Amino acid sequence: MLSAVHAARLDVAGDLLSLLGDTTTEPRTDPQLEALTLAVAADLPVLLWGEPGIGKTAALRRLAEALDLPLTTVIASVHEPSDFSGLPVVGDDPAGQGVPMAPPDWAVRLARTGKGLLFLDELSTAPPAVQAALLRLVLERQVGALRLPAGVRIVAAANPRSSAADGWELSPPLANRFVHLQWRHDHEVVVRGLGGTWPRANLPWLDPERLPEAVTFARRAVCGLLTARPDLVHRLPNSEAHRGGPWPSPRSWEMALRLTAFATAAGTAKEVLSMLVRGAVGDGPGLELLAAMDRLDLPDPETLLADPAAAELPERGDLRQAVLDGVVAAVRRRPEQRRWDAAWRLLVRALETGPPDLVVVPATTLAALRRADWQVPASIERFAGVISLGRKADEVAARVAR
């Protein structure tokens, strides 16, 4: 009789737990969730870094539900290397047939299902031997003798070493196989989620008509940067801690290129793309790539020199400066009186439509390009005060520095 009463009370407790777990989702701008879903769509392994209890696992559960993918969680730190490289199974004729490496049960289930979200949790507490065994799984989707199907996506989570239980730094080969995303909590998201409504995770919509354009843009941006900065192609960090994060290599640049193409086709916000490319190749190289993308959208200096009166200059200061510097560089490459005059007309337009300090350096450089037989345009007098002010500011800065 007493056990029946306890069972009934447990049933009521179960009903309450069910009500607490009854949540819904809503469309909500969440850059880190958007970055995660885009990387998943691009079929790249993602590693979420965040303090314990911040909601990394919960976010993965919601992502799997939204994408209708079965979630398979594997705690990396409690497995042996053979759980990822496969267990040897001796058959009747090992000399003739070899010894196959049998995959674990979770890999077999994923292969049978044909799709799924494989969540490698607590990656930073996995010892070096286990990390080494994970290399083929993360890069080639190979577990023993079994290759996971194309419908399987891989996401991992890790705590910083300072807050991980018996934590290890990630080995450079393993770290370089992931897109690293810093996972932080949003106060409003947490409060609204505890109230029963979480952000909805949606795969990005890729515009079919923009796919060729997206690939061309991504290749121009990445290849253009690496052509100008060959030292960025491969740069292994000096410190052990930085080697366990994102850093540039041919492999991670390929990931950055793919992410750029997907983000371009999806019309993704610059903030989200910034998180992704910096998570692939590191902060410094990632920011340089973003700057290179901005420059790809800048007008051609020759077009501006052909019709300065119709020129549309960027509003953003750094981009406007880059345009003006590009025009002066174009005149230097092919110095002619008419091109020199056109550059001055363009600088007048920049002076009239934006901050005057941005024309100081281009105007000074352009003036130095004058040939002896070139007539000085009347408009050059408008820059006298600006250049004088700029020189005085430089003199003050030099005195302060001393």
Q: Which of the pair, 390 or 324, is modelled with greater confidence?
A: 324
Give me the pLDDT at residue 222, please.
94
Which band of pLDDT confidence, cut at 50, 70 and 90, is reported for residue 394? very low
Q: pLDDT at residue 263 above 90?
A: yes
pTM more than 0.95? no
Which band of pLDDT confidence, cut at 50, 70 and 90, is reported for residue 214? very high
Comparing CA positions, the residue from 263, 83, 58 lying closest to residue 157 is 58
pLDDT in tens, 317-345: 888 888 888 889 889 989 999 998 899 89
Give me the pLDDT at residue 390, please.
41
Taking residues 10-15, what's their average pLDDT?
A: 86
Instruction: Output the CA angle 191-40-124, nearest 5 degrees.
Output: 75
Taking residues 210-218, what's their average pLDDT?
A: 93
Q: pLDDT at residue 392 above 60?
A: no
pLDDT in tens, 266-316: 999 999 999 999 999 999 999 999 988 888 778 888 888 898 888 888 888
Give me the pLDDT at residue 391, please.
47
Q: In three state form, how does the secondary structure of the chain look? A: CHHHHHHHHHHHHHHHHHHHCCCEEECCCCHHHHHHHHHHHCCCCEEEECCCCCCHHHHHHHHHHHCCCCEEEEEHHHCCCHHHHCEECCCCCHHHHCCCEECCHHHHHHHHHCEEEEEEECHHHCCHHHHHHHHHHHHHCEECCEECCCEEEEEEEECCCCCCCCCCCCCHHHHCCCEEEECCCCHHHHHHHHCCEEECCCCCCCCHHHHHHHHHHHHHHHHHHHHHCHHHCCCCCCCHHHHCCCCCCHHHHHHHHHHHHHHHHHCCCHHHHHHHHHHHHCHHHHHHHHHHHHHHCCCCHHHHHHCHHHCCCCCCHHHHHHHHHHHHHHHHHCCCHHHHHHHHHHHHHHHHHCCHHHHHHHHHHHHHCCCCCCCCCHHHHHHHHHHHHHHHHHHHHHHHHC
The span from the CA of 263 to the CA of 268, in Å, is 5
φ, ψ of residue 305 in degrees (nearest 5): -70, -30
- Is the CA virtual torsion 25, 31, 33, 35 positive or negative? positive
Give me the pLDDT at residue 93, please.
59
The pLDDT > 70 percentage for the chain reads 90
Most confident of 94-103, 138-147, 206-215, 387-396: 206-215
The answer to whether the beta carbons of residues 359 and 325 sit under 8 Å apart is no
pLDDT in tens, 73-131: 999 888 888 888 877 776 655 655 566 778 888 899 999 999 999 999 988 888 888 89
Q: pLDDT at residue 161 above 50?
A: yes
Which band of pLDDT confidence, cut at 50, 70 and 90, is reported for residue 51? confident
Q: pLDDT at residue 393 above 50?
A: no
Which band of pLDDT confidence, cut at 50, 70 and 90, is reported for residue 155? very high
Q: To the nearest whole number, what is the mean pLDDT of the chain? A: 85
Helix 283-296, helix 211-228: angle, nearest 10:
120
pLDDT in tens, 53-68: 888 888 888 888 888 8
Dig out the tokens for 85 from the structure.
């490289």
Burial of 107 (0-12, 13-18, 19+ CB in 10 A): buried
